[in-house]
Amino acid sequence: MATVKHELIRNFTSEEAIHHSKISIVGTGSVGMACAISILLKCIPDDNTVHLVTMSPWTLVDCETFVVFDDVDHFAEYWSMDILTYVAWKLSAFPKNRVIGSGCNLDTARFRYFIGQRLGIHSENCHGLVLGEHGDSIPIWSGVNIAGVPLKDLNSDIGTDKDPEQWENVHKKVVSSAYEMFKMKGYTSWGVSLSVADLTESILKNLRRVHPVSTLSKGLYGINEEIFLSIPCILGENGITDLIKLKLTPEEEARLQKSAEILWEIQKELKL
């Protein structure tokens, strides 16, 4: 008889535990510097030191786990961050559990914040995920709950075109928020840097928290190609240790598969 744990969690790596104590940031642009400051403010490194390296984004120096974040604008103009994460995985030859795209981790934080703002509840008590492609993400309304109460039980059309309350505007606000901030401030480095610090903390402190980050998704949710997309992952000292087996609606799964198809059409032209 299958246990609850077996039904919920899928193992992602069989590696022995590795203790991490060093953080290297490749690239000292505005995002790289903001990441360094955010990580230091959380007091994550054992020696309170972050190593900054001014080389190509793909020069991986002395790193045991590589997190890809938005500091590669000259590539991102043509490729999505999920494809860049795939490229980093291929070029680094690291195992799949140790190349992680920041993916939808920040979008999910914004999603929860805007839900809480609308309900007048702190975002820590708003549980929901944004998955799929970075920049063209999918809100998983079927799993959104407040203190265990599924919002779909209260409004069966939530997040759809039929929803009289138009909750889909919450996700639209998530998508547009980065553009709004860029218009007002001229940069968006601090949001992603705080997200990267959050991921770094989960890895180095072996917290085993669940994050929607970009990882190799072949064989999941009907995806048949080597595509990196954001799915709920458990992060610990080996990077991605396990995956959460999320129960998606047919519509949500179809949207995830469509995202994978779009990425694959671009990615299959790469010669790596």
Bridge pairing between strands 66-68 and 130-133: unpaired
| 270: Cα within 13 Å, side-chain hemisphere | 17
Least confident of 39-48, 81-90, 203-212: 39-48
**Encoding tokens for residue 219?**
């064989």
**Per-residue CA distances from 118 to 94, 105, 111, 129 (Å):** 42, 20, 11, 17
Backbone phi and psi for residue 27, each to the nearest 5 degrees, phi listed first: 110, 125
**Per-residue pLDDT, 257:** 96
**Mean pLDDT throughout 27-40?**
87
Catalytic residue among 20, 134, 171, 211: 134
**Per-residue pLDDT, 189:** 85
- Is 19 a residue of the active site? no
Residue 73 banded pLDDT, cuts 50, 70, 90: very low
* Cα–Cα distance for residue pair 206/8, rounded to 1 Å: 20
Residue 68 banded pLDDT, cuts 50, 70, 90: low
* Cα–Cα distance for residue pair 252/117, rounded to 1 Å: 24
**Mean pLDDT throughout 127-137?**
92
Q: How many residues in total does the chain contain?
A: 272
**Mean pLDDT throughout 52-71?**
51
pLDDT at 256 over 80: yes
Residue 127 banded pLDDT, cuts 50, 70, 90: very high
Residue 154 banded pLDDT, cuts 50, 70, 90: very high
**Encoding tokens for residue 235?**
């992060």
How far from each other are the two terminal CA atoms of the chain, in whole angstroms? Answer: 43
Contacts of 149 (CB under 8 A, 6+ apart): none
CB 260 within 8 A of CB 223: yes
* Cα–Cα distance for residue pair 41/131, rounded to 1 Å: 28
Predicted TM-score (pTM) of this structure = 0.88
| 135: Cα within 13 Å, side-chain hemisphere | 14
pLDDT at 10 over 70: yes
Which range in 10-14, 15-19, 268-272 is most confidently predicted, on average pLDDT?
10-14
